[in-house]
A and B are shown apart, each in its own frame.
Chain A
Amino acid sequence: ILNVEQSPQSLHVQEGDSTNFTCSFPSSNFYALHWYRWETAKSPEALFVMTLNGDEKKKGRISATLNTKEGYSYLYIKGSQPEDSATYLCAFITGNQFYFGTGTSLTVIP
């Protein structure tokens, strides 16, 4: 299976802090990269679909960038809030196959 790595595995930040984490994937045969937000006991929620090198997407306080040549994507959260606590999951898509990362678990401390 292709290696899709996310780092860090877990993260604790104070409310109001900004934070970011990484999804690393193979730089060849790239089709798309997805970011999901997964709260405990719920199905993951789609955040971003990124397809072009240099893509930047934003949704409220959350944004993401994509570098397909070097094989990484960053997810940024500005001014973290307790409701941002969740696992953030990336998925690398090549052809018609998904390869999920292992997730970054974010805890925002009030």
Chain B
Amino acid sequence: SQTIHQWPATLVQPVGSPLSLECTVEGTSNPNLYWYRQAAGRGLQLLFYSVGIGQISSEVPQNLSASRPQDRQFILSSKKLLLSDSGFYLCAWGNSFEAFFGQGTRLTVV
């Protein structure tokens, strides 16, 4: 079956600390993978997308980065978090019939 796993579900991190959010996909190969962020009062932002291993495109300049070390693994990272990085992060992919979304990560930077 096709599923997507995202963790952790919630995270509280101090300003200046690093970040690593992981998303893994099952039941497919070579999917397009996406990282979105929904921040309070700022709507939805497409942060990164990847069409294959090592191929990352960035939509929004920021202190975040993404990597795709394996076909079904997509990682969102930061070396030093900012207060403005707080928000709800969502990993996604889809096939011809439906989209699959991770459970989301609520990140609070304090």
Contacts and interface: CB of A to CB of B under 8 A. Distances in A.
* Interface SS of A by simple majority: strand
Contacts of B46: 100, 102
Interface stretch (A16-24, A64-72, A87-95): A87-95
The interface centre, meaning the residue of B40, B92, B94 with most chain A CB atoms within 10 A of its CB, is: B94
B99 A99 contact: no
B72 to A, nearest CB: 14
Contact of A34 (B40, B51, B99): B99
A43 B96 contact: no
The interface centre, meaning the residue of B44, B90, B95 with most chain A CB atoms within 10 A of its CB, is: B44
Interface residues of B, number: 29
Given A1-B49, A102-B44, A43 B101 contact: yes
B94 A43 contact: no
B28 to A, nearest CB: 8
Given A41-B88, A44-B101, A98 B43 contact: no
Interface of B: 31-32, 34, 36, 38, 40, 43-46, 49, 51, 57, 59, 88, 90, 92-99, 101-104, 106
Given A1-B51, A87-B44, 7 more contacts: A34-B94, A38-B44, A41-B38, A44-B92, A89-B44, A97-B32, A102-B44
